[in-house]
Amino acid sequence: MQQTSALHQPMHFTEMVFPERSNHYGTLFGGQALLLMGQAAFVTASRHARCAVVIARCSDVQFMAPVPQGQALRLTAQVLRTGNSSMTVEVSGSAENLHTGHQQPALRGAFEMVAVDCAGRPRRI
């Protein structure tokens, strides 16, 4: 198993919490949060492996604070581990009030991503 080096810099994504992403409490719906985290993990893993990737597992997802409608969700994704065909991408996010600049840690999770060939079988990275 090969560990990643400092060359694998984190990727940053910013998404707004608009009404269509909100639940009945006026905060980011958990399913939408998972969707955005999965997309960040996918882009980060694809960029790292330079091939097609799929999500094999999502683990240790924590929702630490709500992200209110009208705030930005700032996501950071980074490859933590690279194996033969798989990699672990950590995604963390914070809620940002765009008027004050205040940020609060909001969520975190780990995504196991697998590089695949055109038939959908694992391939070497």
Q: What is the mean pLDDT of each run of 10 residues along the chain (125 residues)?
A: 58 98 98 98 97 97 98 98 97 98 98 97 97
Domain boundaries, the chain: 2-115
Q: What is the dihedral of CA 62, 64, 65, 69, to 10 degrees?
A: -20
CA separation for the pair 86, 88 (Å, rounded): 7
C-alpha separations of 103 from 44, 99, 122 in Å: 23, 11, 38
- How would you classify the pairing of strands 103-115 and 72-82? unpaired
Q: Is 91 helix (H, G, I), strand (E, B) or coil?
A: strand
CA separation for the pair 55, 49 (Å, rounded): 13
Instruction: Note the pLDDT of residue 4.
Output: 44
Instruction: Note the pLDDT of residue 5.
Output: 46
Class of domain 2-115: alpha beta
Instruction: Note the pLDDT of residue 7.
Output: 52
